[in-house]
Structure 1
Amino acid sequence: MRDGYKALLFLAAYGLAYILAPGAYLRYEVVYFGAVSLAVLGVTKLLDAGLVNFGYGMYVAAGAYAAGLLYKHLGVSDVAAGVALAAAAGAAFGYAVGKATARFRGIFYALLNLSVSMVLYGVLVKFYTVTGGSDGITIPTYLLFGFPAGTDAIAGLTAALAATGLYMRSRYLRSALYYNALGLRENELRMRALAVSPEAAVVKLTVFSAVFGSVSGALLAYLTNHVSPDLSFWSESSIMVIGGLAGGFISPMYGFLAGALVLRILDILASYYVYELVVGVGLMLIFALALARSYVGGARG
């Protein structure tokens, strides 16, 4: 009951923010925030287990291209169909990557995921006739359940999905999978002693995380009317990780929402300055915060 209550409060606050936002641009930003919060939620799920994925953008790209290819090759522009296909693609892709990376930890896990994401980036750029190459895919118009839709419809769907993500996060924090994630981060030997497979936990976490990222990608595709291979590039993934890490400092429950705000701010800054500079400074600030918190914790201990 309390989980649903939190989701309904968020839904009301999100709807109010969208309605009261002055001008089309700020309404667009509200929807963008809601869509990207799902990707940050996916990153956060992996960070719970101590898994840092610098290739996470590949899941967002998978969802976006599921929607884009559905339109480009089959002429289907219904948002509901695109989001459903994105979720399915994310689950399948996440399962495959999860199985391949389940035995790796630390820098090896991060680099292997980064490698997969860069292979996907190369494939998306190279096969122009299928993916549109570096130009990507444009989705000029779309429907929602068969009816013509615009930003308002995307806003409503995004609000519902973000509220669902919050509800699932609340339930997840009291689930066995969450404690398995903590076990992965803290003590895998104890997990094995309790007959819990760390590898199976990694696969489950990766699948759930990938679904969130892919749904986020599909929503962003319809909102921006464009799909680009840059979603799979390392710099995009790094900003998502920064968002997840920043949210982790704030709240296990609501941190992904704050992280989405951080992500969007960094994205806007990156459009004015050198992208790599913004990513580098963002990562250094996160490390500085982590170091400061460890000193504070040590002093209290």
Structure 2
Amino acid sequence: MTQDLPAPLPPALRPAQQQHVLNIVRRAAKAEILPRFRALAAAEISSKSRPDDLVTTADLQAEAMITRALKIAFPDALVIGEEAVSKDPSLLDGLANAPLAFIIDPVDGTWNFAHGMAVFGVILAVTQFGKPGFGLIYDPVADDWAIADSATGLAELQKASGNSSPLRVAMGKQIENLSGYIPLSLFEGPVLRQVAATLPSFARVTSLRCSAHEYRMVAQGHVDFLLTGMLHPWDHAAGALICAQAGAHVEMLDGGPYSAARRNGHLLVAPDRTTWNRLRKVFDFLVVEEPGGA
């Protein structure tokens, strides 16, 4: 007896809808983010979970603008923003069962943004039952964006001029030749010391304090790998899809595909499966920290 395979999901967004979403993000950046870059008053910056976990007026206003526009265009979709979740974490509970969900990080790299560094971006992902189907990482300063669509295989860096180029990750390498991103500040205690002890194994390891640009750099082949510290979906859903479409092997350290509904664990992105397996051996001590579920 043959087992019936699950029916493939329809495209998350049609091309015209993708363009509309892109326009929403660009308008919000122009109206609410760029005018505040290097122009924030002290009263427009505050902390959330820890002193360096910042939120600014730009985050709040951009998320509100994007959320309003998405709810008008997609009234049946679940719309989740990072700042809304900080006030009501239960908003994440519906991701796994939502046929269509939008996940927004209005200003990723807020610490950089608040300190006048042009290493920040807007991240938007569209998921279907937790599975990323469309990803967009927008750089407001350069006015360009990495974009991916699981239905068509699209993975491109597109510019406002109309020019575009395909995204392609780097070739696989031996451990000692790899460069990567590891957010050391997101690990604590003995685990932090274990992660830090792996750094001499690589050619270079750093962090941009900005998932948006870290994923873009990996997808463009400028950096080899990325290991997550925390699994917030607004940081990783779009980038995981973009890198996968660009040829990366994207998998949870404890095995299995990434889902935006997953709350715990570590995602590892590498140029290919062979390199991923090499990295998995380096970071095997992290697997015991994972509960293995959403």
TM-score, length basis structure 2: 0.24
Q: Which has the higher strand share?
A: 2
TM-score, length basis structure 1: 0.24
Higher RCO structure (Cα 8 Å, ≥6 apart): 1
